Amino acid sequence: MDFTEAYPDRCSTVGAAVRMGNAEVLQELIARGASINVHDNRGWSPLHEAASTRKYDCVRILLTKLSKEDVNARTWEGETATFFAAKTGHLKILRLLVKHGGDPNISNNEDGSPILQAVSGNHKDCVAFLLRQGANVNSHLFGGWSLLHEAACCGFPDILSLLLRAGAKIDVRDDFGIMPVFTAAQYGKLDCLKLLIEHGADPNARAEDNATPLYLAAQEGYSQCVEYLLIHGAVVDIPTNTAQGFRPIHVAAFRGHLKSLKLLIPPSLSVLEQVKIPGEWEELLTPLQLAARGGHDEAIKMLLDAGCDPDCGVRNPTENTKGMLLQMAQTLDIDPPPFYCATQMGHYTTAALLLESGASVCRPSDQYCLLTMFRDDTRATELLLDHCGKIDCKHILSDLFHMLFPLDALRLLMDRGLRIRFNCQAAHGLCPRINANILTLHASEVTCVMKLIYGYVDRLCLCEHNIKRLQELGCYDKVVSLTSKPHSLLHLCRVAITEHLGTTRAPKIIPTIDFLPVLIKDFLLYKDMRPGS
């Protein structure tokens, strides 16, 4: 049920005449003795109706018959006729009501005063009149939202100036610690922001969460406000007191506000160089990581040009610092690398940009390898392999020993030249004697892995230790049945050619051989091994 809806059957004859704006009928009804003070289902009297619909003649006629108490009568929502006149901005009606005893300081049930309605509607003349009639310039809603908040938020500099001259408190805060200077910055009202700063508002004022006007302007992308605040002393290194501890440059990067970011980078170089302290701002990400999470390629380019490292996001890190951060990044949930931030949100073009800009795929000295971190993301694995110079690093081999790679990722590695041998005599051979965790999968999974690997080699040469493990799993006979059938001569030729070229170089060389038919190229690249082939 809508309690603000006017029901026709609950309206008096006088009220109906006012709704139609028919002053002649209204006078005739009054002359016949009709009551002029009957309230409808909303608690509205005919005077409320006339004031809210800007019916001046009706208001004038009604006021000749009403007492001061009737003039200030309130609806069920607490509104007076003066409230409605201020809201609609009808100065003549407002003057008439006040002349007949209308109180400019009676608020509705939410503490919304007539002057607040006039401010909200940009009715400057009504605001000026109400101030002259003693309206409280510092009145506010229940939540502390003041006249200055409203004027700054709406972008009404003339009214804002009027209120300031009338003595409105410039440092008034709402229940969240927000001052008018915040609302001007947050909603991009530059003229109002200038006016407030000129009248002494603090450009570094802080809300309850420690956010500043500069933070809010950067967050919303109002670059002109950002520039003005920077010129007038706004500090760029004030963190919010949330878990993230973000600064203005963080939110500008995350939202992809390029103009604001460009303005913030020069004064924020020290912020870009900050390294997370364990236990403090545990969730703090660098602006580069946030830009990657938002998929903002141009913002990433700007930050990279400023010296941010594509691996860890910090500007100009030392090798020791970078190594520490990359080791932390292996856990992903503590300090994920920019590449992870991008792929996590599905921004694979952004991830490719980071790799093209020098992001490392693998750093053995730092125990850091993106390939092992993204083994469950096929698309990310493909991207990494496109930019990877070596696919038999110790991290991949370690994960292979534990059989942690899913089949799709394993197939991609094999496509790019990785060859796996279950033989302790072979280079990088996988064997239970070397690592007891090898082949700890379910028997059916082991069979699928063996079948896949067999499709890329000339033969599956198992050492005695692997044979014993397969027998323990109860899948040895199944593996033998799948792999004992000799390969075709065609396949053996393919194996010989790719091994001659080098299994990791062949996928790069074969596509460039112009005289080879596409069918042969695809065969040499093992495309027949892909699902659906």
Tell me the domain boundaries of the chain. 403-533
**Mean per-residue pLDDT, 357-363:** 85
**Mean per-residue pLDDT, 488-512:** 92
- Smallest CA-to-CA distance from 266 within 209, 305, 215, 216 is with 305
d(CA 422, CA 420): 7
Of the pLDDT bands very low, low, confident and very high (cuts 50, 70, 90), residue 281 is very low
| Position with higher pLDDT, 360 vs 280 | 360
Residue 439 pLDDT: 66
pLDDT for 519 beyond 60: yes
d(CA 131, CA 229): 31
pLDDT for 505 beyond 70: yes
| Position with higher pLDDT, 345 vs 394 | 345
pLDDT for 377 beyond 90: no
Residue 234 pLDDT: 98
**Mean per-residue pLDDT, 386-405:** 67
pTM: 0.82
pLDDT tens-place string over residues 302-323: 999 999 999 989 999 988 888 8
Among 100-104, 148-152, 379-383, 398-402, the least confident range: 398-402
Helices 443-454 and 464-473 pack at an angle, to 10 degrees, of 140
Residue 232 pLDDT: 98
Residue 397 pLDDT: 64
pLDDT for 491 beyond 80: yes
DSSP character for 527?
Answer: G
Q: Tokens in use for 144?
A: 């502390």
Of the pLDDT bands very low, low, confident and very high (cuts 50, 70, 90), residue 179 is very high
- Across the chain, mean pLDDT equals 88
Residue 249 pLDDT: 98
Torsion of CA 73, 75, 78, 79, to 10 degrees: -80
Q: Tokens in use for 455?
A: 């499709």
Residue 261 pLDDT: 98
Mind giving me the DSSP string for 50-101?
A: HHHTT-HHHHHHHHTT--HHHHT---TT---HHHHHHHHT-HHHHHHHHHTT
Residue 394 pLDDT: 65
pLDDT for 283 beyond 50: yes
**Is 79:108 a contact under the CB 8 Å cutoff?**
yes
